[in-house]
Chains A and B, each alone.
Chain A
Amino acid sequence: DAGVTQSPTHLIKTRGQQVTLRCSPISGHKSVSWYQQVLGQGPQFIFQYYEKEERGRGNFPDRFSARQFPNYSSELNVNALLLGDSALYLCASSQGTASNQPQHFGDGTRLSIL
């Protein structure tokens, strides 16, 4: 069975641009969460979606948005990119919400802002 898949694997953008990252959860998983991992740090929680509704949001500006589709895949959008947005963006899926089911991670999208 396929694990969590993310696309693209790498992306280079310039300041001020917009980016869309994609995630397909493990088959049967209804929850998708997004995390930002800056080099040398642990992942920081951005969003959780469960059954197509936002269930939680971390301490990130409104430039960050996400959505979940009927097939449970998800997109993370970041507008007006800043140099500080350079990071590894990780998607995780679980059968239920993070509080009652362990999360499984994809390999991430490495975003570089020039």
Chain B
Amino acid sequence: GEDVEQSLFLSVREGDSSVINCTYTDSSSTYLYWYKQEPGAGLQLLTYIFSNMDMKQDQRLTVLLNKKDKHLSLRIADTQTGDSAIYFCAETTGGFKTIFGAGTRLFVKA
């Protein structure tokens, strides 16, 4: 079945690195995404990776993709209090449908 799984909570200290993990199910997914959602807001596209890539780096963000294990991770370097939010992992499957995980709530302690 279609399912994207993420851990529900992550707490880090300001300045540390955060690593949010995700597993997905559709090996034919073309794109894998990370979205950020702050309270009362919509989803902000943070970064995405093509399925033929292993890694993508964008400033403080690093995405790692392990296609064999269907595992995706998002590393946030030098985590700031403004990074506190819900982070969603998502895959595009079936040509049109984007499947989201339940979201990981990141708490950053000052």
Contact = CB atoms under 8 A, between A and B. Distances in A.
A97 B96 contact: yes
Interface in A74-94: 90, 92
Contacts of A35: 98, 100
Interface in B36-63: 41-45, 48
Interface in B1-39: 4, 30-31, 33, 35
A56 interface: yes
Interface stretch (A12-20, A63-71, A104-112): A104-112
B82 interface: no
Given A42-B103, A100-B30, A102-B31, A48 B96 contact: yes
A103 B35 CA distance: 10
B41 A99 contact: no
Contacts of B76: none
A110 to B, nearest CB: 8
Contacts of A97: 95-96
Interface of B: 4, 30-31, 33, 35, 41-45, 48, 88, 90, 92, 94-103
26 contacts: A4-B42, A6-B42, A33-B96, A35-B100, A41-B102, A42-B4, A42-B90, A42-B100, A42-B102, A43-B100, A45-B97, A48-B97, A55-B95, A56-B94, A56-B96, A56-B97, A58-B97, A90-B43, A97-B95, A98-B96, A99-B96, A100-B31, A102-B45, A103-B45, A107-B41, A108-B41
